[in-house]
Amino acid sequence: MTDRLCLTLAQIDFTVGDIAGNVAKIRAARVHAAAQGADLLVTTELSVTGYPPEDLVLKPAFVADARAAVEALALETADGGPAMLVGTPWVEDGNLHNAVALLDGGLIAALRFKVDLPNYGVFDEKRVFVPARMPAPVIFRGVRLGLPICEDVWTPAVCAPLAEQGAEIFIVPNGSPFEADKDDVRIDLVRDRVAETGVPMIYVNQVGGQDELVFDGASFGVGADGGKLFQMPIFAEAMATIELHRLKNGWACAGGPHVELPEGLGQIYGAMVLGLRDYVTKNRFPGVVLGLSGGIDSAISAAVAVDALGADRVWCVMLPSRYTGSESLEDAAECARLLGIRLDEIGIEPAVGAFTQMLGPMFNGRKPDITEENIQSRARGLTLMALSNKFGHMVMTTGNKSEVSVGYATLYGDMCGGYSVLKDLYKTTVFALSEWRNKHKPDGALGPDGPVMPQRVITKPPTAELRENQKDQDSLPPYEVLDDILQALVEDEMAFEEVVARGHDPATVRRIEHLLYVAEYKRRQAAPGVKIGRKLFGRDRRYPITNGFRDAH
């Protein structure tokens, strides 16, 4: 039995499927832990494979490679250095589990399997893993450690039995993705588990972007009295070494960082930056290319790209048509100047003219309508994709959640691209974020200290400039109204009568509900993008395309 336990907590950006790269990071973390005199290195959920591996774990060769990596890491602990706690898929008695392995003394000293497999929102673990029976504590250096895995601490079902079996400290490997204000939710639920059991909890969370998910890190600990023991940074890799000491009434923590976390818009912006940076970097794109229109959506997208990748990896193109106003040209140029990025101009009129001539005989006798507007949008998309194909840069799409919700986005036009940082952001949040970024530069951002766009971009009425004097609110309610209706319908799944009771016009709610449903086919073909809220289209909200239901009769 020991009265002192030294832990090094590794908040690392792993890559799904890169077992060799992930193991190299774990080895480097163990070297750091040894230099700190740690007894145990703690990594995050499925750290060997990256999280979430989705259907990769259905490939026997992948699971076998992960097992071989864990066995190799275990042998390395025979050197007398720190033990390791690593996450890995593991087959036991023919069942595939989400596991954590304690590696010590050259052996796999213990294995524990996840009990509560999440199967809601972005999670689909019951599809690939088998839940475990209730686990027992692991004895390490004479200390009984409870090792619940991520979702296992979201209800009392796992922690309470572990405490009843004598667990003295909970160490929780996590792969908990970012949502706005989720750090407060996590701390509250950990405090609940601690209050129920009287056992302190060390919560170690993965950091990094994985497709549409962003893992924010922000690892922390809560003592038996409910007080925060330490707080690691958000949206950044970090290592922290803490000492736990046995007292008469339990275990106390000495040392550890106490980082102040950003709030609100600062967290949302940080998630956008990390999500884009990892998507571009892990998929080995040299940079990004996007259309810079002089509007707010492309301006904030460009700012996020520069903060994530640096100005030298961001290429913007102005794609004017006959309807592009001088203000738009000026504002795009000023955005580029403020961000220090390359801006080229390619007029789309020759392409629009060619399509008009080509389709003229078929369209003879019909008045111009949205068809001609969409041709302009698709000419821009075709141009950006041609640049991407020729030079390798990934096209960023710049549509926001308000537009995509109601179908005000053109398939194969402004929707074409490889990734979107605005996919889960309503237009009102886009306005607020733009104001925020003009006044704040987040930690780790590679962009400028001052404003990233002229104020006029934020204050002028939004327009697609696809016809004369066009404004978004010619055919949509004000964004404050639209976004409140969409929040109610999408995020909260409210009934028609409930939305109207919020003070909205019934005819407007009925129209928005209809537009929301009939645009599902477009959203199925949309680029991936950063998850910010509770209902990201595609991963969280999965509605049928063919759908005869309408709540607003």
Which segments are annotated as binding site? 120, 176, 182, 291-298, 374, 398, 403, 522
Residue 244's DSSP bridge partners are 5, 253
Number of H helices, E strands in the chain: 16, 19
Residue with tokens 């738009």: 328
150 part of the active site:
yes
DSSP of 282-300: HTT-S-EEEE--SSHHHHH
Binding site feature residues for ATP:
291-298, 398
User: In degrees to the nearest 10, what's the CA dihedral of 59, 63, 69, 71?
Assistant: -150
**Secondary element (H or E) of residue 7:** strand 4-11
User: In degrees to the nearest 10, what's the CA dihedral of 486, 491, 496, 502?
Assistant: -70
CB atoms within 10 A of CB 505: 12
Contact indicator for 185, 154 with CB cutoff of 8 Å: no
Question: Does residue 238 sit in helix, strand or coil?
Answer: strand
Structure tokens at 470: 């066009």
β 4-11/228-231 pair status: unpaired
Residue with tokens 């998309």: 381
Which one of 6, 25, 114, 125 is the catalytic residue? 114
β 288-291/250-254 pair status: unpaired
Binding site feature residues for L-glutamine:
120, 176, 182
Q: In what order do the strands lie in the sheet with 4-11?
A: 107-113, 95-104, 83-92, 40-42, 4-11, 238-247, 250-254
Which one of 6, 25, 150, 253 is the catalytic residue? 150
- CA–CA gap between residue 399 and residue 396 (Å, rounded): 10
Structure tokens at 359: 């389709």
Residue with tokens 């839940």: 131
User: In degrees to the nearest 10, what's the CA dihedral of 289, 292, 296, 297?
Assistant: -30
Contact indicator for 538, 523 with CB cutoff of 8 Å: yes
Q: From 164, 119, 120, 169, select the one nearest 144 (Cα to Cα).
A: 169
DSSP of 448-498: -SS-SS-HHHHHSPP---SSTT--GGGTS--HHHHHHHHIIIIIS---HHH
CB burial class (10 A; 0-12, 13-18, 19+) of residue 210?
buried
CB atoms within 10 A of CB 290: 23
Residue with tokens 């390395």: 76
Our CA angle for 60, 71, 78, nearest 5°, is 180
335 part of the active site:
no
- CA–CA gap between residue 502 and residue 269 (Å, rounded): 29
- The two most distant CA atoms of the chain are separated, in Å, by 90
Q: From 202, 232, 201, select the one nearest 215 (Cα to Cα).
A: 232
Q: From 265, 197, 253, select the one nearest 227 (Cα to Cα).
A: 253
CA 272 to chain centre: 7
Catalytic residue numbers, as ranges: 45, 114, 150
